[in-house]
A and B are shown apart, each in its own frame.
Chain A
Amino acid sequence: MGNVIDLDAKNYKSLLKNYIETQDEKFLYRAEQISKSFLKNNILPEEIVNLHMQALDELYPSLSGEFQRSMNFLLETMISYGLAHQEFQTLREEQLALKSQIAVAASMQDTLLATSKPNIEGLDIGVISVPANQMNGDYHHFIESNDGSIGIALADVIGKGVPAALCMSMIKYSMDSFPENAMQPKSILENLNRVVERNVDPSMFITMFYAQYQPKDNKLHYASAGHEPGFYYNAKRDKFEEIEAKGLVLGVSLDAKYHQYNLHINKDDMIILLTDGVTECRQGERFIEREEVLNVIRDHAHLSAQEMVDRVYKYFQRLQNFQLRDDFTLIILRKDV
């Protein structure tokens, strides 16, 4: 550090002299570069004022005593800025360390909550889930059963970030522990509700949608715990309908009961499941309308389910200036045959 300031001291003095004599912009440009070098080498403001005082003293020894004392005064006022600068430096380093710890947690979460899209003949599945911050408070999971049916779980913790993400691991491991005969949507939500009620802080809410698709009879059985309603696209009538399902948010009441609904799916019909990160996208101060999501889906309906969800995500990501405000999860199922 001493060397840098010695080297820059010579430069500084000659630049200052040149500038005072010519007022040429190029010397100000060089001053800007010196200032960057100071910053890079952690030279504090009081040291720069001192450098300036010394340079002036050498160049113009006859400058008034009043002026020199005024520079002393300025130097004194810079001390706290120098301290603040050092403090910010330390805090920035701490922040970097924290960020890298969260990155480790996020990748651990990815491993813990990993799920793979099942291959079911005649069913085209598209899924995208993107966290607003590093850790995802949305959770989706596919479960293939021995009887050929698939289960689709989609949950959203109110809140985001690390606490939400921790909560999601609990949901996943509870579900893993349920016996196969309890995999009806209604019983899954009832069991999870008890787990959440007992284990999660009352200020935390989880909404969840669970659907089971049975390809043998083309039926979708589903139940919802206060989750953002999805959509059913009826290909024959070329219309989107809201998938209505009533049910209390998980964790509110120990003995909450959930109603199970079912829906017959025909060729080219679509099931669209989402979290409120999709429907609560905002463009500036304006919340989008739920219909807007459907319009974008409709625009891309000729694509595969995966391409569709990717396009919808890209559309809303751009609409929000590439900064998600909430975790974003969208699942589309389309019956191909």
Chain B
Amino acid sequence: MGTQSCINIQKEWDIVGARQLGRDIAKKIGFGTVDQARIATAVSELARNIYLYADSGKVCFEAIETIDKKGISMIAIDSGPGISDISLVMQDGYSTSRGLGAGLPGVKRLMDEFDLISEKEQGTEVKTIKWLR
């Protein structure tokens, strides 16, 4: 297990920093150009959600390794209002039809593993992993 690197998200500019850090770590692990771009897009979506809906939060990256595979883990944590209807925001078409981009279903598609915990008034935590193939 590697060490965690985190980026705090407060301003829109921080989204760019998070993308850069995510891409650098992905590159170091050995991800190709396409996957680097996908990981960066997933970071964008997660960081943007923090920027838009929570006052503050952070995105953390970690290089992970099991016996037979390597990958990148990303965790986005915020202390925002929480998601009241998770099924709704995970529905295809919900985010895109509002012009909000690929949304959480997009993140789920870009990555290999996806988990989400959200409590009202306490915040949201999204954990995703992409494995190196």
Contact = CB atoms under 8 A, between A and B. Distances in A.
Interface of A: 46-47, 50, 53, 72, 75-76, 79-80, 83-84, 86-87, 90-91, 94
Given A46-B38, A80-B102, A83-B106, A90 B92 contact: yes
B101 interface: yes
B110 A46 contact: no
A79 B37 CA distance: 7
13 contacts: A46-B34, A46-B38, A47-B34, A50-B33, A50-B34, A53-B33, A76-B37, A76-B40, A79-B41, A84-B96, A87-B102, A87-B109, A91-B93
Given A72-B33, A83-B102, A83-B110, A91 B38 contact: no
A75 B33 contact: yes
Contacts of B81: none
B105 interface: yes
Contacts of A80: 41, 101-102
User: How large, as a class, is the contact surface on chain B?
Assistant: 10 to 19
Nearest to A51: B34
Q: Which 9 pairs from chain A and chain B are nearest by CB?
A: A83-B102, A79-B41, A83-B106, A50-B34, A90-B92, A87-B92, A76-B37, A46-B34, A79-B37
Nearest to A2: B133
A245 to B, nearest CB: 47
Given A46-B38, A79-B41, A87 B33 contact: no
Given A79-B41, A80-B102, A87 B93 contact: yes
Interface string B88-121: 0000110010000110011001100000000000
Contacts of B33: 50, 53, 72, 75
A79 B107 CA distance: 11
B30 interface: no
A76 B93 CA distance: 22
A87 B92 CA distance: 6
A231 to B, nearest CB: 47
A83 B41 CA distance: 10
A315 to B, nearest CB: 40
Contacts of B37: 46, 75-76, 79
A1 to B, nearest CB: 11
Given A46-B37, A75-B34, A87-B92, 15 more contacts: A50-B32, A50-B33, A53-B33, A72-B33, A79-B110, A80-B41, A80-B101, A83-B106, A84-B96, A86-B109, A87-B93, A87-B96, A87-B105, A87-B106, A94-B92
Nearest to B105: A87
A94 B24 CA distance: 38
Nearest to A54: B33
Contacts of B109: 83, 86-87
A48 to B, nearest CB: 10
